A and B are shown apart, each in its own frame.
Chain A
Amino acid sequence: MFFALTEDQQEFGSAVRTYLAERFDLDAVRAYFEAPATNDAGNLDGLWKAAGEQGWLAVTVPEEHDGLGLGLVEAQVIARALGAGVAPGPWRGTVLAAEAIRLAGSAEQQARWLPRLATGEAVGALGYSRSVEYGQTADVVVTPEGLLTGFTATPVGSYDRTTRLARVEGGSTEALPGDASSLEARATVLVAADLVGIAREALTRTVDYDKEREQFGVPVGSFQAIKHALADLHVGITMAEHAALYAAHAVDAGLDDADLAVSVAKAKASDVALASTAAMIQYHGGIGYTWEHEAHFFYKRAKRLAGQYGTADAHRERIAALTL
């Protein structure tokens, strides 16, 4: 029995964390967040270059197409780290577009797209939702019908400015001959992992603050009302971490309970991310409600992602359908 991340997998996650801490910290996130709406894709050149060079984009692309040939388990490690850093950028869409083409594309389509998606030379997006993440910078959008190119993208305003959205229209679609039916599950797992990363980071930051902040002559973190809330979050987030990891493995390995695992992961991750980011605001007090503080980056991103690929309630209905 080995249900854990290997050292290599953990290393992958820490490399992303380290890069973000050193090169794209919360000040950079803030600059991106506050960039005027006219600058709709923001400036992500450095971050995007790193994503290409460090293999974050190549993670699931087969080696024959210049990828790392790893799986969804490794991809969710990266997703978690990006969530923890509330990092912007079309990473998820590009990885998922590559997944669609890897799973269902013809040899020609694979040769045409995969090497470019793996390096970041081409940007991908998943067009399963009304508002497409980074539709404005995407070269190719994967829709249920196939590969969409030559479209027009109209920016969509959203208060989660850690991610840019667009409505995508027109263009031409090229069918994918194979079976991409697991794509939505893969997208759901990566979103769940991002949420888990957000939730953990929000908790860690709140714990750190409440250890220091004093009221009534003691650190507020010594009050039991706060302790118990944070302890419950720690338990819940740990469970969500297990669930995201398992769901990634279950989808990749085609386990019998993959559908259940994905819904468990998304329902749990959405719940804990919303709870943890709301707690981040509450247990920072007034400062947590300010624009200056970073709590709202986490909270807003959690809100948006909790709604993507099925809300917690929608996944609970799927869980009920699978088990009743």
Chain B
Amino acid sequence: MDLTFTAAEEEFRSELRAWLSAHIPAEWRRPGFWESLSDEESFGLRRDWERDKALAGFAGIQWPTEYGGRGGTPGMKAIYDVEMVLADAPRTVNPLGLTFLAPTVMAIGTDAQRKEIIGPMLRNEVIWCQGFSEPGAGSDLAALTTRGVRDGDDFVVNGQKVWTTNAVHGDKIFTLVRTTPGSQKHRGISMLLIDMHQPGVDARPLKQMSGASEFGEVFFDDARVPATDVLGAVDEGWRTAMLLLSFERGASGMSQYTEFRRQYDEIAAVAKKLGRDRDPVIRGKLARVLTELECLRLHAMHILTQTEQGRDLGFEASMTKLQWSEASQDLWEVFDDVLGEDVTLEELDDLDLTPFNAQAMWSRSVTIWGGSSQVQRNVTAERVLGLPR
């Protein structure tokens, strides 16, 4: 058992810490600061800050230097994830690109694609959207109907995507499109990399239950994409998509633990302030959530160990998703119990509850996106336990 990081990894931690402490304005750490900004303002600030961070060498931690990354270890990536949370660093504006597209491009993209996509993504010159879900194709992604028809050197795309995170900020969208007319299910789909700044693409915001508009819908009306802008092979898009989704796996468990543990401490502080920390029912519920969060931390250490050993985690990603998303949702349900009759208030005594409420609302989404809890349970039951379909 060795729960430490290497000297080089700890050295990286110090450098990163120093940079973060010098480059995050105190005001940004004030509770409620980000919630007080418009989507537009928040996005702009974060976009620029993240670019500066990339230019300072703190981006693409695990990717090769020749593509603009830092060439670090999985341990450094884990440290990076945790330190970003501890420093109250702004949330990334390019989550879909960084989490999903970049590793897929590194794995199966052409060399030209690696050069064109990775560096500009790290510097936020290109904000990426993920165009998978459609009105008729959510959990059943293979029911998608957006189609692309070959026309000379281009595909001409028609259809609609929905729930697209960052739709109105997006520059490009990696999109699942049916490129073989009349094909069924998983066949005949390609992953096209479509420029969103063209007349054939219309992105509109959708307002979420939280009041924010982080996602939206994207309409394709004779949108054009060069036939070379396919990731993976033409008509092999399902395979590309499965690879891409596999990168959700537990790599971020450590930072999620750090984030949720902070939220736990904040909720505990509210409970104390309200004298609710003496209620044995509340104590039991908080402890139950803390147990799950500690398990998440250990699970993240397990995932990191397996990654460092070069093992494929396969369908274990579903377990990771279930553990973190269900635990964080439970945590915010306990917050409701802590507030009791004052739940839904925006202010209590001198306490601004809006940042808490925003998190509580967000917690309803985490068991839906990235494969709902029900879908993850199906995967776990069928692929891991081997129960019949």
Contacts and interface: CB of A to CB of B under 8 A. Distances in A.
Bound together: yes
Interface of A: 1-4, 73, 207, 210-211, 218-219, 221-222, 224, 226-228, 230-232, 234-235, 238-240, 242-243, 245-246, 249, 253, 260-261, 264, 267-268, 313, 315-317, 319-320, 323-324
Given A239-B292, A243-B298, A234 B319 contact: yes
A240 B322 CA distance: 15
10 closest residue pairs by CB, A with B: A227-B381, A316-B287, A239-B295, A320-B283, A242-B298, A319-B287, A3-B301, A231-B380, A231-B377, A221-B387
B278 to A, nearest CB: 9
Contacts of B292: 239
Contact of A235 (B280, B290, B380): B380
B117 interface: no
Interface of B: 1-5, 75, 78, 264-265, 268, 271-272, 277, 280, 283-284, 286-288, 290-292, 294-296, 298-299, 301-302, 304-306, 308-309, 319, 322-323, 374, 376-378, 380-382, 384-389
10 contacts: A1-B5, A4-B305, A211-B387, A227-B377, A231-B376, A239-B292, A243-B295, A264-B290, A316-B284, A316-B291
A230 B381 contact: yes
A26 to B, nearest CB: 21
Interface of A: prevailing SS: helix
A224 B378 contact: yes
Nearest to B286: A320
Contact of A207 (B1, B319, B374, B387): B387
A248 to B, nearest CB: 9
A234 B295 contact: no
Contact of B387 (A2, A210, A260): A210
Given A268-B295, A319-B287, A323-B287, A1 B387 contact: no
Given A1-B5, A1-B304, A235-B319, 12 more contacts: A4-B302, A73-B1, A211-B386, A231-B385, A246-B301, A260-B294, A264-B290, A267-B291, A268-B291, A313-B284, A320-B286, A323-B290
A211 B294 contact: no
A245 B305 CA distance: 14
Contacts of B284: 313, 316-317, 320
Contact of A323 (B5, B286, B295): B286
